[in-house]
């Protein structure tokens, strides 16, 4: 052919009966509802696979005769009607779905939650994510829809998404940016009353950047994606939202300004008035400044505006890696924030101060901004909460990290999305109301235990077989493209094939970031060779994952794994599969026997891929970090204790690798291959069952969102209401009080008025008396309290007693007295302390001030 090439697309015309297929293709309900996906599959299985499970593309390519034939097919029509009925029932607000829950303290019709995140991983057909953060955000939206919350999410419309990965012959990661055609994505442009795209102008240095809004429907909730590719923008501004985590710092701050500031403006333009604003990781923290600006426009001064804003703001931090925090040079930040500062009549320095952090002097730290502009904060596992509390303790300088206001909500995964169809079918058949019991631990224990072992085993093996068949094709394509020899391809095909379910298959797939230590298992090569190479008890290792294009050490990891996979001793024992995405993740987590995770403790904030494996009956073999530190119970997998406290890092890797290989060699492999009469190991199946029933109810996104709703959103709604009523009168009062306390606090002192008693007897009260110089504050502005903890019992609860103010005497200041009713006999540790207190605070220790005697 010569000359220019043009495309002509011939689109099918949907028979009338199938008109609602369009609707199904436009609601991400399909990302977790197997019925909808099954429908597309049945129309044309090959086409469904070849268009990457994208229903919109599918409906544009499907053969007309196929549609016409199916229109006459009674079976198909019946199924179609069933799927539509389920879809309608899910969307109908008057029908209470089994997954809806009573949410304590939240009016789920009125209290709108706005959720902001840089990435969303909902389905492979909408590639707006790079890793765990995005998948988590997607799962959060899905669970919010299931629970029936009033919920709206905001993100950016990346026309080029994140990159697609191939791995070349030498193990180099190759990056492919696909400009998506937006009419092939499940997104709809939001139009105004006149049918024109809504344009939201955002103030940028010396100009405005306009964004338009795309709507994604996720079950019953909406995700709005902002897009700068609008003709009225300067040519250099149009690509701002093209790529997730692409570009330099200037590009990043521009994206984050659009997300934070533009996101608030967009929700306002759509007439939405959220009660709570959830910043999911620091990228979107600029929303705080825009909301302060709104309050200033309504007449509050900046500090009062910050109080009103912060009380309604929730911040979840996701990274325990210091380098993972988003930083900008102050000059760059000043340039972009100048307009906002001017609109609020404050110096830019005031805004820069909100984002300062001692570890990054002179830089603008988005995490610090989020911490100062929110009043409810959490880490994503118990271990991570403690790490974050330590890392961020500078925000509450006098408070012990153990006690500062950072709380914890452990991450979870959306069960309907990540539970394999075979399990769903099994539960549908045996206990059709299982979706109403997602967080019921006893229900799951009972239900899973009742499945006969042989049935459980054969189901896991059939999922494994599906995975092998899928991976065989993927690897075949990858090897052929890289011109691997026939022998190499055939060798792979003999191992990675649906029939070969006998080997123990271990999966490791996640972003290739150095702290995740993908190479840990290779620390002792000889030993690993021995374990993998046993012909009687074969073991296979599967790897997949992307490294950020600018992360050179991450890409070096990929190259190393590639080299191991080609090395004779590991040939056909170690495989590296390219193109990790949510579809490949689903295959791997449902098909492998063991899920391996070996992060450097305590840097894995939570990790969720291991949860996906466990709910499908896989066993985790992982460092006790993140979620696994609380999920592991001794029987439901294997936990490797970290040696970060007792060993330097180079020795630690070696020792942890030895522990890992010990477990693999002496526990995992023997248990798996201890095959009994039914052709399987009873010990293995018992562990897999335990993995499934312990993890599923405790680490679901449904449970996670319920915890956010009841423990964080509900109090935020109440707290923010108290400050915002009457034009923000409460916020003004609180800001004034805080200013007074800050000015006085350095001069506040406290001392014993009388030496405390060393002992008391029987039912005599112990009397404690302290004198405080409050430096102009009143006794009502502080709390003086005594903490008593039994000296012997390490886990005993602390008891707290509050002092009462007595009288004031110019010479000794304020006297506070406490009579402690005698507790049970014994020795107690006693501490007395004072901190500023106001009933309008969102957390008693929010000021970060404390005095001890």
Q: Which is nearer to ligand PLP, 121 or 779 (CB)?
A: 121
Show the site string, 226-265: x = touches ligand PLP by CB under 6 A, - = not.
Answer: ----------------------------------------
Show the site string, 410-439: x = touches ligand PLP by CB under 6 A, - = not.
Answer: ------------------------------
Angle at which helix 34-43 crosses helix 64-71, to 10 degrees, equals: 110
Which 8-state DSSP code applies to residue 222?
E
Cβ 583 to ligand PLP, closest distance in Å? 8
Q: Which is nearer to ligand PLP, 137 or 692 (CB)?
A: 137
Cβ 599 to ligand PLP, closest distance in Å? 9
Cβ 126 to ligand PLP, closest distance in Å? 13
Cβ 708 to ligand PLP, closest distance in Å? 19
Q: Which is nearer to ligand PLP, 355 or 582 (CB)?
A: 582
Q: Point out which span in 128-136, 269-277, 658-666, 794-802 binds ligand PLP (CB under 6 A).
A: 128-136
| Contact between residue 372 and residue 810 where contact means Cβ atoms under 8 Å apart | no
Strand partners, 802: 785
Neighbouring C-beta atoms of residue 833, cutoff 10 Å: 16
Could you give the CA distance from residue 75 to residue 81 in angstroms, rounded to a whole number? 10
Cβ 138 to ligand PLP, closest distance in Å? 9
- The residue ranges of DSSP E strands in 484-564, in sequence order, are 504-509, 539-544
Question: Beta strands 782-790 and 828-836: pairing type?
Answer: antiparallel
Q: Point out which span in 449-457, 604-612, 722-730, 826-834 binds ligand PLP (CB under 6 A).
A: 604-612
| Contact between residue 558 and residue 167 where contact means Cβ atoms under 8 Å apart | yes
At 72, list the tokens.
């006459």
Q: Which is nearer to ligand PLP, 496 or 605 (CB)?
A: 605
Residues 511 to 550 in contact with ligand PLP, rule: CB under 6 A: 511
Q: Which is nearer to ligand PLP, 358 or 553 (CB)?
A: 553
Q: Which is nearer to ligand PLP, 369 or 509 (CB)?
A: 509
Could you give the CA distance from residue 418 to residue 416 in angstroms, rounded to a whole number? 6
Q: Point out which span in 66-74, 161-169, 212-220, 606-614 binds ligand PLP (CB under 6 A).
A: 606-614
Q: Which is nearer to ligand PLP, 135 or 366 (CB)?
A: 135
| Contact between residue 601 and residue 359 where contact means Cβ atoms under 8 Å apart | no
Neighbouring C-beta atoms of residue 782, cutoff 10 Å: 25
Residues that bind ligand PLP (rule: CB under 6 A) add up to a total of: 12
Show the site string, 610-649: x = touches ligand PLP by CB under 6 A, - = not.
Answer: --x-------------------------------------
Among 598, 608, 616, 671, binds ligand PLP (CB under 6 A): 608
Cβ 479 to ligand PLP, closest distance in Å? 23
Residues 554 to 593 in contact with ligand PLP, rule: CB under 6 A: 581-582, 585
Per rule CB under 6 A, is residue 123 in the interface with ligand PLP?
no
Q: Residues 243-278, buried b or exposed e (16+ Cβ, 10 A)?
A: bbbbeeeebbbbbbbbbbbbbbbbbeeeeeebbbbb
At 620, list the tokens.
């985790």
Cβ 361 to ligand PLP, closest distance in Å? 31
Cβ 340 to ligand PLP, closest distance in Å? 34
Neighbouring C-beta atoms of residue 123, cutoff 10 Å: 25
- Cα angle 578, 582, 586; round to 5: 95
Q: Which is nearer to ligand PLP, 238 or 587 (CB)?
A: 587
Q: Point out which span in 44-52, 105-113, 603-611, 675-683 binds ligand PLP (CB under 6 A).
A: 603-611
Q: Point out which span in 326-334, 607-615, 675-683, 834-842 binds ligand PLP (CB under 6 A).
A: 607-615
At 786, list the tokens.
């005594």
* 330 Cβ contact list (under 8 Å, min separation 6): 352, 362, 363, 364
Q: Which is nearer to ligand PLP, 56 or 123 (CB)?
A: 123
Q: What are phi and psi of 776, to 5 degrees?
A: 100, -15
Cβ 323 to ligand PLP, closest distance in Å? 16
Which 8-state DSSP code applies to residue 697?
H
Could you give the CA distance from residue 655 to residue 254 in angstroms, rounded to a whole number? 44
Q: Which is nearer to ligand PLP, 111 or 625 (CB)?
A: 625
Cβ 131 to ligand PLP, closest distance in Å? 4
Q: Which is nearer to ligand PLP, 233 or 620 (CB)?
A: 620
Cβ 280 to ligand PLP, closest distance in Å? 15
Question: Beta strands 539-544 and 504-509: pairing type?
Answer: parallel
Could you give the CA distance from residue 404 to residue 181 in angstroms, rounded to a whole number? 47
Cβ 379 to ligand PLP, closest distance in Å? 15
Could you give the CA distance from residue 390 to residue 556 in angstroms, rounded to a whole number? 31
Maximal CA-CA distance, the chain: 103
At 536, list the tokens.
């009687």
Could you give the CA distance from residue 75 to residue 528 in angstroms, rounded to a whole number? 52
Q: Which is nearer to ligand PLP, 699 or 803 (CB)?
A: 699
Q: Which is nearer to ligand PLP, 376 or 511 (CB)?
A: 511
Neighbouring C-beta atoms of residue 730, cutoff 10 Å: 22
Could you give the CA distance from residue 814 to residue 808 in angstroms, rounded to a whole number? 5
Show the site string, 129-158: x = touches ligand PLP by CB under 6 A, - = not.
Answer: --xx--x-----------------------
Nearest to 286 by CA among 394, 203, 395, 213: 203
254 to 226, 524, 555, 789: CA distances (angstroms): 12, 46, 27, 51
SS3 568: helix
At 405, list the tokens.
């206001």
Per rule CB under 6 A, is residue 607 in the interface with ligand PLP?
yes
Cβ 546 to ligand PLP, closest distance in Å? 9
Neighbouring C-beta atoms of residue 451, cutoff 10 Å: 19
Which 8-state DSSP code applies to residue 401?
G
Cβ 218 to ligand PLP, closest distance in Å? 16
Q: 3-state secondary structure string, 296-348?
A: HHCCCCHHHHHHHHHHCEEEECCCCCHHHCCEEEHHHHHHHHHHHHHHCCCCH
Cβ 359 to ligand PLP, closest distance in Å? 24
Cβ 140 to ligand PLP, closest distance in Å? 13
Show the site string, 464-503: x = touches ligand PLP by CB under 6 A, - = not.
Answer: ----------------------------------------
Q: Which is nearer to ligand PLP, 246 or 507 (CB)?
A: 507
Which 8-state DSSP code applies to residue 255?
H
Cβ 619 to ligand PLP, closest distance in Å? 15
Q: Which is nearer to ligand PLP, 608 or 724 (CB)?
A: 608
Per rule CB under 6 A, is residue 510 in the interface with ligand PLP?
yes
Segment holding 388, helix H or strand E: helix 382-391
Cβ 647 to ligand PLP, closest distance in Å? 24
Q: Which is nearer to ligand PLP, 241 or 609 (CB)?
A: 609
Q: Which is nearer to ligand PLP, 148 or 412 (CB)?
A: 412
Q: What are phi and psi of 300, to 5 degrees?
A: -85, 155
Show the site string, 645-674: x = touches ligand PLP by CB under 6 A, - = not.
Answer: ------------------------------
- The residue ranges of DSSP E strands in 511-597, in sequence order, are 539-544, 574-577, 594-597
Q: Which is nearer to ligand PLP, 135 or 304 (CB)?
A: 135
Q: Name the residues that contact ligand PLP, by CB under 6 A.
A: 131-132, 135, 510-511, 581-582, 585, 607-609, 612
């Amino acid at each position: 052919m010569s000359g220019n090439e043009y495309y002509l697309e011939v689109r099918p015309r949907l028979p009338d009966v199938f008109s609602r297929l369009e609707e199904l293709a436009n609601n991400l309900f399909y990302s977790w509802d197997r019925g909808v996906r099954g429908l597309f599959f049945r129309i044309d299985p090959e086409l469904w696979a070849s268009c990457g499970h994208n229903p919109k593309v599918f409906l544009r390519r499907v053969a007309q005769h196929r549609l016409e034939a199916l229109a006459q097919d009674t079976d198909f029509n019946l199924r179609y009607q069933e799927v539509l009925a389920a879809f309608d029932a899910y969307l109908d607000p008057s029908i209470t779905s089994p997954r809806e829950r009573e949410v304590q303290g939240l009016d789920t019709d009125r209290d709108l939650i706005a959720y902001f995140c840089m990435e969303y991983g909902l389905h492979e057909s909408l590639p707006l994510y790079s890793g765990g953060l995005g998948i988590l955000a997607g799962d959060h939206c899905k669970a919010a829809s299931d629970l029936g919350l009033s919920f709206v999410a905001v993100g950016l419309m990346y026309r080029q998404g994140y990159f697609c990965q191939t791995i070349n012959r030498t193990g180099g990661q190759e990056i492919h940016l696909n400009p998506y055609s937006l009419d092939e994505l499940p997104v709809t442009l939001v139009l105004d009353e006149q049918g024109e795209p809504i344009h939201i102008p955002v103030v940028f240095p010396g100009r405005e950047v306009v964004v338009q809004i795309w709507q994604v429907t996720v079950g019953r909730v909406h995700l709005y994606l902002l897009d700068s590719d609008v003709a009225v923008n300067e040519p250099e501004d149009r690509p701002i939202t093209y790529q997730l985590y692409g570009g330099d710092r200037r590009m990043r701050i521009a994206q984050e300004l659009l997300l934070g500031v533009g996101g608030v403006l967009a929700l306002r333009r759509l007439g939405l008035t959220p009660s709570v604003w959830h910043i999911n990781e620091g990228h979107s923290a600029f929303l705080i400044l825009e909301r302060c600006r709104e309050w200033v426009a309504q007449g509050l001064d900046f500090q009062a505006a910050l109080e009103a804003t912060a009380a309604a703001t929730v911040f979840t931090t996701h990274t325990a890696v210091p380098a993972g925090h988003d930083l900008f040079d102050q000059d760059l930040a000043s340039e972009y924030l100048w307009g906002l500062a001017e609109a609020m009549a404050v110096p830019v320095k005031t805004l820069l101060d909100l984002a300062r952090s001692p570890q990054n002097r002179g830089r603008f730290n988005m995490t610090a901004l989020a911490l100062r502009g929110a009043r409810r904060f959490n880490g994503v596992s118990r271990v991570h909460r403690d790490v974050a509390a330590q890392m961020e303790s500078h925000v509450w300088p006098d408070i012990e990290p153990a006690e500062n206001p950072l709380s914890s909500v452990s991450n979870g995964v959306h069960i309907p999305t990540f539970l394999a169809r075979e399990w769903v079918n099994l539960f549908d058949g045996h206990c059709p109301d299982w979706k109403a019991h997602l967080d019921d631990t006893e229900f799951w224990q009972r239900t899973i235990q009742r499945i006969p072992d042989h049935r459980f085993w054969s189901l896991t093996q059939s999922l494994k077989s599906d995975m092998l068949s899928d991976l065989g094709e993927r690897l075949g394509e990858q090897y052929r493209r890289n011109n691997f020899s026939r022998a190499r391809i055939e060798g792979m095909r003999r191992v990675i094939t649906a029939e070969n379910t006998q080997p123990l298959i271990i999966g490791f797939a996640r972003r290739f970031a150095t702290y995740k230590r993908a190479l840990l298992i290779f620390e002792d090569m000889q030993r690993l060779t021995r374990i993998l190479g046993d012909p009687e008890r074969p073991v296979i290792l599967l790897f997949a994952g992307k490294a950020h294009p600018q992360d050179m050490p991450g890409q070096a990891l990929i190259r190393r794994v590639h080299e191991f996979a080609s090395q004779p001793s590991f040939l056909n024992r170690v495989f590296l599969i390219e193109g990790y995405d949510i579809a490949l993740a689903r295959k791997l987590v449902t098909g492998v026997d063991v899920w391996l995770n070996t992060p450097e403790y305590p840097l894995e904030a939570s990790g969720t891929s291991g949860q996906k494996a466990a709910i499908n009956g896989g066993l985790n073999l992982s460092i006790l970090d993140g979620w696994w530190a609380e999920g592991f119970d001794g029987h439901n997998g294997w936990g490797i204790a970290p040696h970060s406290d007792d060993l330097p890092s180079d020795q630690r890797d070696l020792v942890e690798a030895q522990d890992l290989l010990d477990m693999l060699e002496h526990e995992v492999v023997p248990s798996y291959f201890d095959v009994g009469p039914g052709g399987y190991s009873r010990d293995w199946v018992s562990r897999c069952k335990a993995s499934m029933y312990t993890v599923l109810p405790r680490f679901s996104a449904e449970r996670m969102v319920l915890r956010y709703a009841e423990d964080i959103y509900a109090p935020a709604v109440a707290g923010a209401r108290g400050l915002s009523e009457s034009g923000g009168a409460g916020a003004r009062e609180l800001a004034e009080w805080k200013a007074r306390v800050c000015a006085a606090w350095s001069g506040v002192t406290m001392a014993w008025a009388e030496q405390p008693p060393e002992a008391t007897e029987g039912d005599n009260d112990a009397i404690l008396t302290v004198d405080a110089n409050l430096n102009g504050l009143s006794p009502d502005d502080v709390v003086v309290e005594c903490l008593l903890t039994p000296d012997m019992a390490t886990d005993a609860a602390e008891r707290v007693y509050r002092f009462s103010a007595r009288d004031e005497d110019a010479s000794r200041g304020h006297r506070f007295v406490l009579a402690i009713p005698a507790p049970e006999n014994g020795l107690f540790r006693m501490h007395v302390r004072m901190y500023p207190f106001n009933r309008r605070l969102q957390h008693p220790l929010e000021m970060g001030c404390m005095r001890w005697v």
